[in-house]
């Protein structure tokens, strides 16, 4: 699949997508692990739904933002699970999105202080 290489072509990301990328930033995980991770780190505020998660994983795989981690060992013998990890592109997209958001935050703080900053 031919894809634009620039990470900026994927922005802005939907919240779910960003949360999944952030979860995977700390290491490879399987689907259920991502749900748990997002839930724990948001203190139960965000609960990813199973269907939505796998649809997003599929898109992220197709767009090569993540890939399967074939090296990860499955800890439960009865259920074969796949582990996912970020690709270089995925990490760039995530960083770009985080940067974009932090700029927005900074800008809005300045507006709050009565200045007129550049927005993007």
Partner 1 sequence: MRERIYRVLLWFFPGEFRTRFGPEMIATARALDRRHQSGFASLGRVFFDAVMTLYRVRQDIRAESQNIESPGWRTSMNGIVQDIWFAMRSLRRDSLFTVFVVATLTLGIGVNAVMFGIVDRLLLRGPDHVKDADRVVRFYLSTMPPGMRAFTTSGFGNVSFDVLRRDRRHFEDIAAYTVNDAVMGKGNDAREVRAGYASANLFPLLGASASIGRFFNESENLPATVTNVTVLGYHAWRTWYGGRPDVLGTTVTLGDQPFSIIGVAPRGFTGPQLGRVDFWVPINVIGERMGPDWQTTWNSQWHQIIGRLKPDATIEAASGEATEAHRRAYTGDEKYVATGRMFVARLSANDAGVEATDVTVVRWLTGVAIVVLLIACANVTNLLLARGLKRSREIAVRAALGAHRSRLVRLLLAESVILALAAATFGSVVAYGLGGVARQFLFSAVEWDAVPVDTRMLAASGAIALVTGLFVGLLPAWRASRTNLTDALKRGQREGGGQRSRVRTALTIVQAALSVILLVGAGLFVRSLWNVQSLHLGIEPDRVLVAHVHRPRLNRNPNARSFEALAVERLKQVPGAEQVSVAVGLPFGNRFTVQLRVPGMETLPRLKSGGPGVSAVGEGYFATVGTRILRGRAFDSGDRAGSEPVAIVSDLMAMTFWPGDDPIGKCIISGGDPAPCARIVGIAENTHRSRLREDPAMHYYVPFGQQVGFGGTEILVRRSENPLMLGPSVRDALLEVDPGITYVDLETIQERIDPQTKPWRLGAVAFSASGVLALLVAAVGIYSVMSYLVADRAHEIGVRVALGATGRDIVRLVFRGTIGMASVGILAGTLGAIGAGPFVEPLLFNVSGRDPWVYGIVAAVLLVVAFIAGLVPSIRANRINTLEALRSE
Binding site for partner 1 (CB under 8 A): 12, 14, 30-32, 35, 49-55, 57-59, 62, 79-82
Nearest to partner 1 of 55, 109 (CB atom): 55
Phi then psi dihedrals of residue 34, to 5 deg: -65, -45
Distance CA 109, CA 117 (A): 10
Nearest to partner 1 of 57, 86 (CB atom): 57
What is the smallest separation between the CB atom of 104 and partner 1, expressed in angstroms? Answer: 17
Nearest to partner 1 of 104, 110 (CB atom): 104
What is the smallest separation between the CB atom of 113 and partner 1, expressed in angstroms? Answer: 30
Nearest to partner 1 of 30, 66 (CB atom): 30
What is the smallest separation between the CB atom of 92 and partner 1, expressed in angstroms? Answer: 17
What is the smallest separation between the CB atom of 87 and partner 1, expressed in angstroms? Answer: 18
Question: How many C-beta atoms surround the C-beta of residue 74 within 10 A?
Answer: 12
Name residue, tokens 């994983």.
57
Name residue, tokens 């290489």.
5
Question: How many C-beta atoms surround the C-beta of residue 12 within 10 A?
Answer: 13
Query: Within the chain, where are the H helices?
Result: 15-25, 31-41, 50-62, 88-112
């Amino acid at each position: 699949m031919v894809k634009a290489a620039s990470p900026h072509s994927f922005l802005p990301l939907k919240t779910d997508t960003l949360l999944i990328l952030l979860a995977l930033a700390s290491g490879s995980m399987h689907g259920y692990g991502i749900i748990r991770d997002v839930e724990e780190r948001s203190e139960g505020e965000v609960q990813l739904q199973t269907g939505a998660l796998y649809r997003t994983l599929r898109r992220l795989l197709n767009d090569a933002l993540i890939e399967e981690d074939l090296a990860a060992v499955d800890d439960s013998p009865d259920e074969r699970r796949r582990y996912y990890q970020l690709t270089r592109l995925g990490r760039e997209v995530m960083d770009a999105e985080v940067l974009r958001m932090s700029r927005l935050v900074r800008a809005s703080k300045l507006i709050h202080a009565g200045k007129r900053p550049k927005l993007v």
